[in-house]
Amino acid sequence: MSISFLNPSYLWFLPLALGPLVIYFLYRKNPKKIEFSDLRFIEEALKRISRRLRFKQNLLLIVRMLIVLLLVLFFSRPVRHILSSGVSKEAGNIAVVLALDVSYSMSCVSDGRKNLEYYKDAGKKIIDLLPSSARIGVVVYSDRVHSATPVLSSDRNYLAGIIGQAKPTDFTTKHAAAFEEAQRLLGSGTFSNTTVVFLSDLAAHGFGAKIKTVSGKTRVIAIDRDRPCENFWIDDARLSYDAAAKHWQVEVTGGSHPAGKTGARSVSYHAGLIKVGEDFIKPGEDGRFRHVYSFRRGEGESCSGRVRIEQDALDADNVFHFAARRPGEFGVWLVDGDPKFGAGSESYYLRNIFPAAEVLTESEVPGASFNAPGVIILANVRQDSERVADFVKNGGGLIVFPGSNTTDEFSPPYLPASFGQRFRKSMNVTWQDAGFWEELGTSPEEFEWQRISVESGFYMKPEQGSRVLASLSDGWPFAVVGGYGSGRVVVFATSADRDWSNIVSKPVYAPLLSGLARHLSGTQDNVGIKYLKAGEVLRVQHKGPCTVVLPEGGREKCEGGPNEVIFENTSRTGVYAVLSDGKEVARALVNLDTGSDEGNTSRASSGEIRKYFSPNPVYELPENGWEDRLSAIIAGKEVSDGLLFAVLLLLAGEVLLSSRKRET
């Protein structure tokens, strides 16, 4: 039998066990002399009493010394082994799962070595340390499980091979994914001694997602390689074109760790393969930075590139890809079926959004000059016009608002939905088609759809092939989009003024109309450009076969239905180009997910780790000497609970002896 300690540093406090003895001698009182006539009978009684008192005093002193001694041993956490071929007979049938973290924060370099390489070697050591009878599993994970042994195995070469083949990913960390998979593996047999060893930097960002099921019987072991990792990272880089200054502009935001303790770093900007400039960034006291850089790059309609911070301990998050298209000019024509002056006119509200728009009456439409690119807005018109139909058919955009002049007989061929009966009741609006918002380059969460109240309008029946963008609270469409010839049309169920709804007074109105106009005119900047996080699915509105060009130059086929293609293999950061018939139809910029603060490699505290895995026992092992302690935990039996029970018994004895002493 042998004994080892999980917290041997506490053994330095063993001399405290002599404390009660030292206190006894320091505060012992000498007896007082009192003169008395005859002491013969008293002396005989005192002899009997003093022997009993000395015995109780010595016993009380020993009990107090034992209490201190056992408390020190309790905190040092002794483990008892009865070794037999390296395995404790009391250890039971052993099952261990090694959870290897391959998130991008594991690429941090400490002392000239990446954390991932250190923990891969540690995993192989553990496989060699465990007894031959132990069953072992491996889970390779980040924010998802990338690979795992289907069952627990005792094939050492097979297990070491899985660990050796693990490579860093561009994903964030979720320890819950690994622990749940580990519990599944451990639950495949009747094991009495189960352990999950986390081979991870244990950064705080990985403990956000909750564990769904916790057994409470599996111990958790973590090897602590707590090394500083000074790091800069980029959260976002947005490219835009300044038409007035005739240059491109990149706005970069990011952070640094540790906050307020990092100096300036150089940053370089690249357009395509050409470096267009460099500068320096200096984070504030909160560790955050914002940097704007402008450059000129040819006369092309689009530009793509990347921004890069000089290499640091964690290089994976130092690059961010960006792209944009130069917004084109387009015309806007407002056709008002009931022209008025002031706030009562549809054109009044629309001109606030499109101040340069040309306002026409219905009678002026036949003689108007509509030239693409552009968009026509019909507001409360009575009848159709061939000029409008031809404009849309040849690639123009059209937005239609009904009104008091509109009837259910208004049914031009370009409408994506036909008008039915008019309703007169208060209803709310719900946005449905999030994909269309991506095409507009904005997000529905930024607006206040729930505050829109529609008091009157027309029930609409969508035509085949159209898309319902928003619905009324009773389920009827509020906005429908569809195609006509080479152009596109959006029709609303209510008017463009305040007579039938309050939409014109809500924050949603201006960005919605301006975004729709640019989108329908075909001049929208960044149309076809998608920003994705690593691992997100790439979806493109496209018909027919297509090919995706990967960041490293390889090509893969797209998959999907007749109107949408889907591409799932976006695990690496970079630029993905979607091609059809040799032409680019979309581009995706895949960057790291920095929203979970993965770049901040601060280690979670011991309390946070224990709380996260509670009620499972957690053991954190220091970098030096972890091998012996890990073997002791898995193959031995911790006796701390027995020591604590003994302390409680001794405390009860101490209280009893102290009370008897006072009575005497």
Close Cβ partners of 265 (under 8 Å, ≥ 6 residues apart): 232, 280, 281, 309, 310, 312
How far is Cα 45 from Cα 66, in angstroms, rounded to an integer? 32
- Whole-number percent of the chain with pLDDT over 70: 87
pLDDT of residue 333: 93
Amino acid found at 387: R
Amino acid found at 543: K
Residue 168 region by backbone torsions, left for phi larger than 0, else alpha for psi between -120 and 50, else beta: beta
Are 494 and 478 in contact by the 8 Å Cβ rule? The answer is: yes
Quick one: pLDDT band at residue 599, thresholds 50, 70, 90?
Answer: confident
Sign of the torsion angle spanned by Cα atoms 144, 147, 152, 158: negative
pLDDT of residue 111: 81
Q: Torsions phi, psi of 523, nearest 5?
A: -110, 15
Which range, of 93-107, 169-183, 215-229, 356-370, averages the lowest pLDDT? 215-229
pLDDT of residue 381: 92
Residue 438 has pLDDT above 70, yes or no: no
Q: What is the pLDDT of residues 128-152, one digit of tens each?
A: 989 888 999 999 999 999 999 999 9
Q: What is the pLDDT of residues 8-54, one digit of tens each?
A: 778 888 888 888 888 877 776 666 666 655 565 566 666 666 677 77
Quick one: pLDDT band at residue 242, thresholds 50, 70, 90?
Answer: confident
The two structure tokens encoding residue 225: 């390689």
How far is Cα 117 from Cα 108, in angstroms, rounded to an integer? 10
pLDDT of residue 99: 97
pLDDT of residue 85: 40
Quick one: pLDDT band at residue 446, thresholds 50, 70, 90?
Answer: very low
pLDDT of residue 46: 60
pLDDT of residue 121: 95
Residue 479 has pLDDT above 90, yes or no: yes
The mean per-residue pLDDT over the stretch 516-532 comes to: 73
Quick one: pLDDT band at residue 88, thresholds 50, 70, 90?
Answer: very low
What are the C-alpha distances in Å from 129 to residues 52, 134, 299, 618? 56, 10, 64, 20
Residue 274 region by backbone torsions, left for phi larger than 0, else alpha for psi between -120 and 50, else beta: beta
Residue 585 has pLDDT above 70, yes or no: yes
Amino acid found at 459: Y
Residue 112 region by backbone torsions, left for phi larger than 0, else alpha for psi between -120 and 50, else beta: left
Amino acid found at 283: P
Q: What is the pLDDT of residues 538-578, one digit of tens each?
A: 888 777 788 999 998 899 988 766 667 889 999 999 999 88
How far is Cα 135 from Cα 157, in angstroms, rounded to an integer? 13
pLDDT of residue 38: 57
The two structure tokens encoding residue 324: 């944009």
pLDDT of residue 555: 93
Q: Give 198-232 as a DSSP string.
A: EES--BGGGG-SPPS---S-SEEEEEE------EE
pLDDT of residue 444: 53
Gyration radius of the chain over CA positions? 38
**Count of H-run helices and E-run strands, the chain:** 12, 39
Most confident of 229-238, 323-332, 535-544: 229-238
Amino acid found at 111: D
Which range, of 282-296, 389-403, 503-517, averages the lowest pLDDT? 503-517
Average pLDDT of the chain, as a whole number:
84
Residue 659 has pLDDT above 90, yes or no: no
**Does this model's pTM top 0.75?**
no
- Whole-number percent of the chain with pLDDT over 90: 38
The two structure tokens encoding residue 23: 């206190």
Are 556 and 567 in contact by the 8 Å Cβ rule? The answer is: yes
